[in-house]
Each structure stands twice: as C-alpha cells, then as structure tokens.
C-alpha cells in the first residue's frame, strides 16, 4: 500500500521549520499519516509561542496575546493525541527541528499569519471537523472530536490577528499580505487536487478524497477570499 502526497494541514508551520515529519520507508501508511499530523501539531507549539511574543512586541491587544499562548498549550495536547494514533498504527513520532527565531516586522508576521493561519490552519480546522464525523476508526473520531473545536478557535484567532494587523499596515503592505494569501489559496487547491490516499486510509482516517478536498478548499476560499480561485 502506498501513499501519494497526502494533504495535511494540522497546525501552523513556524518559520524555520527544518523537519518534514517523514518516517522510515515501509511504515504503515495510516501510521505515517498520523505521524505527519503529530509533527505539524508539535511544530505549532513554538509557532504560537513565538506569535504571542511578537504580538506583544508589536503592541497587539492583550486578548490576542493570551489567545496565542492558550493555543500553544492546545497544540501540546493535539501533538500527544496524534502521536498516540501514530504509534497505535505502527509509526514513531518524527523528530522536530526548528531553527532559532529571528526578529521580524509586523508585515512579515501578517504574511505568515495570512498563509499559515487564515488559509492553511483554517482549512485544517475544517478537516478536523470532517474527520471527527467521517472516520471509521472510533479512536480517530474521538481524538479529532476533541481537537476540532480547538482548531476552529485557532482559525478564528488567525482571522482576528489578520484584522488587527491589516489596520496597522500601509496600503502597499496590505496588498503584499493579500497577494501571499491569494497564492496560499492557489497552492492549497493544487495540493488538495494532488492528495491521493488509499481507500482504506480514507475510510479509517476520515480524510476526504482528492476531489472532495479540492471542492472543500474552493468553497472555503469563496467564503473567506472571494475571487482568489477564480
């Protein structure tokens, strides 16, 4: 059984992420899938911790800073839950490697938030809810049923940060943020269309087929950024 380019959006990828969540060749496909999900959830912990520090440094409202810190704690639990599923299906937890963070501008923060939060993590929240309803594996449904509300809250945080940050930026900077956002939607649609999993993995994991995933991306993009995929 082989797995070709699964689309996994569980978590906010931090700048400087060096590891890819891959496991040894021959690892069961379902285990490898959950290992990749666990890796992304684990990577989200430093991503949110950094985000909280940066928001505070840029003078963001305190409720956004607190929400980012809470999200980091959520991701610790999510990574543990996905690691448990990975090990149950024969895969180890991949090593996480993230380069030391460097100071960056509010525009750089806003671009990352638009791509990783408003696009990828928001789609990830949709996927988590989909898996919680669709997975034939009861433990997957239970784990994702717990994770999905948190991921929805993280997506809402991304949109709130976006609204605040865009007010602080110049018109030229806002256009650069939106250009990155549009490109992220296009890339996500391409990734969704190319995401192919064996039928058994689709059933057990609850992930949508490539065709359904592509339609979900287009529907979400039409709501959040009309015209991005026109």
| Fold classification of 29-224 (topology level) | Ferritin (1.20.1260)
The pLDDT, as a whole number, for residue 15 is 80
Residue 13, CA distances (Å) to 24, 95, 105, 124, 166 in order? 22, 15, 18, 12, 21
Length of the chain: 230
Mean pLDDT computed over 161-174: 99
pTM above threshold 0.85: yes
Confidence bin at 153 (pLDDT 50/70/90): very high
Contact 141, 132 (CB under 8 A): yes
Mean pLDDT in the chain?
A: 92
Residue 17, CA distances (Å) to 45, 71, 84 in order? 12, 18, 22
pLDDT digit string, tens, across residues 59-109: 999 999 999 999 999 999 999 999 999 999 999 999 989 888 888 999 999
Statement: residue 3 has pLDDT above 80: no
């Amino acid at each position: 059984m082989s797995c070709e380019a699964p689309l996994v959006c569980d978590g906010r990828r931090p700048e400087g992420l060096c590891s890819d969540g891959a496991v040894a060749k021959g690892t069961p496909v379902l285990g490898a899938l959950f290992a990749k999900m666990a890796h992304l959830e684990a990577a989200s912990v430093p991503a949110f911790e950094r985000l909280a520090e940066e928001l505070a440094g840029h003078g963001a409202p305190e409720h956004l800073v607190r929400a980012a810190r809470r999200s980091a704690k959520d991701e610790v639990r999510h990574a543990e839950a996905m690691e448990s599923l990975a090990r149950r299906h024969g895969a180890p937890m991949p090593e996480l490697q993230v380069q030391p963070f460097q100071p960056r501008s509010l525009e750089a923060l806003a671009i990352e938030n638009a791509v990783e939060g408003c696009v990828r993590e928001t789609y990830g929240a949709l996927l988590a809810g989909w898996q919680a309803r669709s997975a034939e594996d009861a433990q997957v449904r239970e784990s994702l049923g717990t994770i999905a509300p948190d991921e929805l809250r993280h997506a809402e945080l991304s949109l709130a940060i976006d609204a605040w940050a865009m007010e602080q930026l110049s018109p030229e900077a806002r256009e650069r943020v939106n250009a990155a956002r549009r490109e992220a939607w296009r890339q996500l649609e391409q990734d969704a269309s190319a995401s192919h999993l064996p039928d058994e993995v689709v059933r057990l994991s609850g992930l949508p087929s490539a065709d359904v995933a592509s339609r979900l991306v287009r529907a979400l993009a039409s709501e959040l950024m009309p015209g991005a995929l026109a």
